[in-house]
Structure 1
Amino acid sequence: MWKIAIIDDERQVLQGMKRAIPWDELDAEWAGEAHNGEDGLEIIRATRPDIVITDIYMPVMSGLEMMEHLRKEGFKGKIIILSGYSDFEHARQALRLQVSDYVSKPISLPTLRTILGKVIEELIQEEEKRIRQGELELKMLLYEPFVEKEWIRAAAVGTLDHSYRSNTHLPPSYQYWLERKHATIGIELIRDDRASSFSVSDWNLFRFAVSNIACEVTRKRFTDMEYTELGSNRALLIIHPWEECAEQLEELGTRLIDSISSYLRLVIRIGIGSLKDTWMKIPESTEEAFRAMDQGALRMNPAYEVYRYRESSSSGQEKGALFPVKFSYKLAAAMKATQEAEAQQLVFEYVTELQKQQGVSASYVQMLGSELWGIITYSLYESGLVLDDLFTNDQIAKEIGNLAVPDQLAGWLSAKITAICASRQWKGSSKHRQVVDFMTSYIHEHYAEELTLADLSDKVYISRNHLSIIFKNITGETFNNYLTRVRIEKARELLLERNMLVYEVAERVGYKNIPYFSTLFKKITGMNPTELIN
C-alpha cells in the first residue's frame, strides 16, 4: 500500500483531508500527521511515506524548509504542496525541490482524487522501472559467465570484432595472457558405431562429461587454461605456457585419449597447434590444430591419434582442414540466429573453394554433406529445434547418397537451409534457447545442490509450469530426468576413479538416500554402483 503523510498547521484542514482521501480506492494508508515542519520532518524520517501533502506557511519550520532538509537527506517520495497562498517565488522554489504538484486551498474532492491518482500512477511506473532495472542487473550477473565463455570462443576461432582485437581491450581476468605464449589442443569426438547410436540429449551429456575430464586432466599439467566447445563433436583447449612445451602437449594429448576412453568409452583424436607469441594469433593455432587432424600427418605415436602441426608438413597434394574452424563456427552461429543469407553465403564460399580442388570424388562430397548436416543439426538442437521433426534420418541419408559433385552439395544444402529458416517451429522455439542454455549450464555447475524447477524459474523470471514445458520441448526430457542423468554421469566418473566409497559419491552428487541413489544408478547405467568399483 502507498503511505501518505499530511503536514498542516490547521487542524480542521488536516482532519478534513484525512476524511476526504479515498484510501481504499487508491490502495493507500495513513502514515502520520504533524502541525509544523519540524514535527513533520521527524514523522517523515520515521515512517518514510511515499507521498507527503504539506502546507508552506507553518510555525517553527516552514514547509519549504522541511522539504529542503528532506531532499538533502535523499528523500525520494512525492511531495504535494497545498497552500492558501499563490506565490510565484514559492512555486519556483517548489519546482527546484521536485514537487509533484502545487495546489491552492480550498481543494475540491474530485481535484484531490485526480492529483493523488496521478501521483500514485507515477509511483507505480517508477516502481516497475526499478523492478525491470533490478531484473536486468540480476540477469546480467546470471549470464556473465556465458558472456565470458562466448568471448573465449570468439577469441579462439577469430570472430572477435576488429575493435576488440587489441591488448587494450583484453578483459581484466585475462590480462596475464599478455605475458604468456599460447598453444591450442583440438579435440574431436569420433562418431563410431556406439556414439552414432546416442540421442542428441545423450550426446550433450557426454560432451559435458568430456569437458569435465579434459579440464581436470589438463589442469594437472597446465594451471592456466580454457576449454571451449566449437560444435557438436569438436572442442578446444587453450594453454598459456611461459615457454616451448611440445613434449608436455603431446603427453597431454595421449593422456586425454586414455582418460576419455577409460571413463566414457568414447574415441577421440587430438590435434596440436603451434605455439604463438601473442593471444591475437590464437585463431591461427586453432586452425592448425584441426588441420593437423584432418591431414592425418605427423602422428606422434602409432598407438594414439595425436597429430602435431608443423609448417613443413603442408604439401600441394594434401587437402587443408575438412572445415576451417572459423567456417564451422560461423555457419552454426548463422543457423542459430536464423540468418539465412549469411548461412547461404558461407556455404557458397566453401563450395566455391572446394570446386578449385582436383579429383573431388562422389564419396568425398557425400562425406562433406554428412558432416555439414551434422554441424547444422547440432547447432539447431542447441537453439531448440530438433530437425527430426522436419526431416527423417532415412530421407537425409538417401539424399546425401545421391550427391556426386560440389554443385549438387551446394544446391542440396541451400534448399535445406531455406526450409529450416522458414520453419514455424524454429521461429517459435528459438525465443527460449537462451533460457534453456542457462538452465542446462546451471545444472551442470550446481548438480550437487538441492535444485528444483521452482528455483530456476525464480532465476529466469518464468513461471514453473511454463518453464517445464519449454525445457521439455527443447531438450526432449523433463527437468528432473535431465538433472538425474547429469548427477549419475558424474557419479560414474567418480566411481571409476576408485578414490571414494559409494555413499561418499552419492553425497557428492546430491543424494543422501543411498538405496535410492543405487536404484537410480542401476536404472540409468544398467549396473549397481558396487559393480563398477569391484
Structure 2
Amino acid sequence: MWRVLIIDDDFQVLEGMKKSIPWERLEAEWVGEAMDGQEGLQKVKETSPDIVITDIYMPVMNGLEMIEQLKQDGFSGEIIILSGYSDFQYARQALRLQVSDYLSKPVTMDELGGVLERVIHELEMKEAERLEQAETRRRLMMYEPFVQKEWLKTVVTGTQERAITEESMTPMKQGAWLSQKHLIMGIELMGTNRVMNVSLTDWSLYRFAVANIIREVLEQDWPRSEFIELHSHHAAIVFHIPLAQSDADACARIREIGKHITACTFTYLKLSIRTGMGSVQTDWKQLSDSTEEAFLDLLQQTLTEDQGTRLTKPDVVEPDFTIRPIKFYQELAEAIVYAKEEETLAIVDAYLEQLRQMPSVTPAYLQYLCSELWTILAYSLYSTGVVLDDLFPGMRAGQEIAKIQSIGELREWLKNKIVGISSQRGWSEQSKHKEAIDFMIQYAHEHYAEDIVLEDLSKQLYLSRNYLNRMFKKAMGETFTNYMIRVRLEKAKVLLAEGKYMIYEIAEKIGYKNVAYFSAIFKKQYGMNPSELGKK
C-alpha cells in the first residue's frame, strides 16, 4: 500500500480528501494529517509517507518552506501541491523544488484522483527499477567469486583475446598483482585406478578435496597465492613474489611447497598428483608464459605410481613452445563442456594448423597429444554427466591412438570422435544447465558448514526446487541433499586425519549441531564411528 500524508490548515479540506480519495482502487492508505508546515515535517518523520499532499499558505511554516526542508532532509517521496494560490511566483518555486504536480483549488476529486494515479504509477516504476537494481547488485555479489575465478583463468591460460586491463581487477587484487612478481605451478591429478574408476559425484568430491588441501597448504606456506582449476585433471597456482626476493630463493621455496602439497594429498586422500614450475614473470600480463612453461615441465615428466620418480622422455617433448598448448586445452575443454560442436572443430583445426608449421613434430608427440586430448574430452564430458566410454562402446582408444603417424591422421581421428560426441542427444542436454550444476557444487563445498536449503539455491538460480533437484540428480547421479551429506563427511574425514579436533568440534565445523546425528550418518556411510576412524 502506498502511504499518503495530507497537510492543510483547512479542516474541511482534510476531511473531504480523506473521505473522497479512492484509497482501495489506488492501493493507497491515509497515514496521517497536519495543519501547518512545522507539524507536517514532524509527521513525515513519524509516518515515512510515499506521497505528501500539501497546501502552500499555512501558519507557522508555509508549504514551500516545508518542502525545501524536506528536500534538505533527504525526503525521496513524491509531493503534490494543492493550493488556492495560482500565483506564477509560487508555481516557479514549486518547479524549482521538483514537486510532482501543482493543482489550484478548487479541484475536483476526479482531477486529484487522476494526479494520484499518475504519481503512484511513477512510484511503481521507480520501485520496480529499485528492486531490479537491488537484484542485479545481489546477483553480481553472488557471482563475484565466479567472475573473478573466470578472470583469473583467462590470465593464467592466456585465453582472453581482448586486452586485459588493470581495471578488470578488484581493488583487493591490484596490490598483489601490480606490485609483485609472479610464478605459475602446474598441477596434474594422476589418472590412477582410484581416480579413473569412480562415479561422477566421487570425482567431484576428489577435485574439491584436492583443492581444499592445496588451499590449506598455501595458507600456511605461501599466503600470497591463488589456486585455480583448469581443464579436466589440471589446475594451477599463482605465486605472488615480493620484488625484493630473489628468483632463485622464491623458486627453491615454491619447489618445497610443491613437495608438501604432493605429500599431503597422498596422506589425506591417497591421491597422486605431480607438479611443474614455470619461470618468474615481472609483468602479470605475461603470466600465461609461465603457465605454458609449468605444463611443459609436467609434459617432460612421467610419474611411477609407487615411487614418484621423474624421468624425461625427449621424444615426446613439446615441439615448439610458441603454439601454447595450455591455451588450446582450455579453449577445447570449454567448447566441449558447453556443447559447441563447430567451435570445438574450429579450435582443433586452428591448433593443428599451427602444429603443421612446426618442423619437428614426431609421431610420438602426436600420439602423446592425441592421448592428452582424449583425456580432456573424457574429463570435460564427465563433468557434464556424460561418460565418454558409453558413447563409444568397445572402442580401444589406446590402440587407435598408437596408429596415428601424421597431423592429418590426428585431425581425422579427432574430427570423427567430436562429430560422434555431438550426435549424442545427451551431450547438449547435459551441457544446458552446466553452469547451474557447477554453481550448486561450488556452493556446497564453500558453505558446507551452513544450513543449506535447496529452496534458497532455487531462488538464486531462478529455477524451481523440484526441477533443480531432478537436474542435479540426472547430472550427478544422486540428490543434492545426499551430495551435501557426502561433502560434509569427506571434510570430516580430513579433519579427523589431522587429529587436532574433538568429535563435537568437527561436527560443528561441517554444519551439524547434533553430535549423535553426525556420528550416526558417519557410521552409516563408512561403517565405523568418527572416533574409531580417528584412532587409525
- Provide the TM-score with structure 1 as the length reference: 0.85
Cα gap change, 1:256 to 1:72, in 2 (>3 Å): closer
Give 1:457 shift: 4.9
**Preserved CA contact (<8 Å) 2:37 2:61:** yes
Give 1:301 shift: 13
**SS state at 2:395 partner:** helix
Partner letter of residue 232 of structure 1?
Answer: S
Moved more, 117-126 or 227-236: 117-126
Tell me what 1:374 maps to: 378
Partner letter of residue 42 of structure 1?
Answer: Q
Partner letter of residue 497 of structure 1?
Answer: E
**Does residue 447 in structure 1 map to residue 448 in structure 2?**
yes
**Preserved CA contact (<8 Å) 1:295 1:320:** no
Tell me what 2:34 maps to: 34
Distance in 1 between residues matched to 2:324 and 2:104, nearest whole Å: 78
Give the aligned length.
519
**Preserved CA contact (<8 Å) 1:214 1:256:** yes
Moved more, 446-455 or 168-177: 168-177
**Does residue 292 in structure 1 map to residue 297 in structure 2?**
yes
Partner letter of residue 378 of structure 2?
Answer: G
**Preserved CA contact (<8 Å) 1:167 1:178:** no
- Structure 2: give runs of 5+ residues left out of the alignment: none
Distance in 1 between residues matched to 2:157 and 2:348, nearest whole Å: 18
Tell me what 1:263 maps to: 268
Show the 5 A alignment for 1:202-281.
202-241=202-241, 242-243=245-246, 244-245=248-249, 246-281=251-286
Cα gap change, 1:127 to 1:497, in 2 (>3 Å): same
Cα gap change, 1:336 to 1:302, in 2 (>3 Å): closer
**SS state at 2:140 partner:** helix
Cα gap change, 1:413 to 1:106, in 2 (>3 Å): farther
Show the 5 A alignment for 1:50-449.
50-160=50-160, 163-164=163-164, 171-241=171-241, 242-243=245-246, 244-245=248-249, 246-296=251-301, 303-305=307-309, 319=319, 324-336=325-337, 340-355=341-356, 357-359=361-363, 367-368=371-372, 370-378=374-382, 381=383, 385-388=384-387, 393-395=390-392, 398=395, 404=404, 405-416=409-420, 419=423, 425=429, 428-429=432-433, 433=435, 435-449=436-450
* RMSD between aligned residues: 3.6
**Preserved CA contact (<8 Å) 2:53 2:81:** yes
Tell me what 2:492 maps to: 491
**SS state at 2:163 partner:** helix
Give 1:394 shift: 4.9
Distance in 1 between residues matched to 2:259 and 2:17, nearest whole Å: 84
Cα gap change, 1:465 to 1:124, in 2 (>3 Å): farther
Cα gap change, 1:307 to 1:255, in 2 (>3 Å): farther
% identity of equivalent residues: 40
Give 1:71 shift: 1.6
C-alpha offsets along residues 471-530 of structure 1, whole Å, 9 cap, x if unaligned? 445544323212211111111112222333434333332224334323322333344434
Tell me what 2:483 maps to: 482
**Preserved CA contact (<8 Å) 2:184 2:237:** yes
Cα gap change, 1:103 to 1:287, in 2 (>3 Å): same
Moved more, 460-469 or 180-189: 460-469
Distance in 2 between residues matched to 1:91 and 1:422, nearest whole Å: 68
C-alpha offsets along residues 163-199 of structure 1, whole Å, 9 cap, x if unaligned? 3356996844342344443322211112222211112
Partner letter of residue 276 of structure 2?
Answer: G
Give 1:73 shift: 1.7
C-alpha offsets along residues 67-98 of structure 1, whole Å, 9 cap, x if unaligned? 22222221111112223344444333322222
Partner letter of residue 260 of structure 1?
Answer: T
Cα gap change, 1:171 to 1:59, in 2 (>3 Å): closer
Partner letter of residue 491 of structure 1?
Answer: A
Moved more, 318-327 or 74-83: 318-327
Distance in 2 between residues matched to 1:315 and 1:359, nearest whole Å: 9
**SS state at 1:304 partner:** coil
**Preserved CA contact (<8 Å) 2:339 2:428:** no
**SS state at 1:3 partner:** strand
Cα gap change, 1:221 to 1:71, in 2 (>3 Å): closer
C-alpha offsets along residues 393-415 of structure 1, whole Å, 9 cap, x if unaligned? 15266395767521322422552
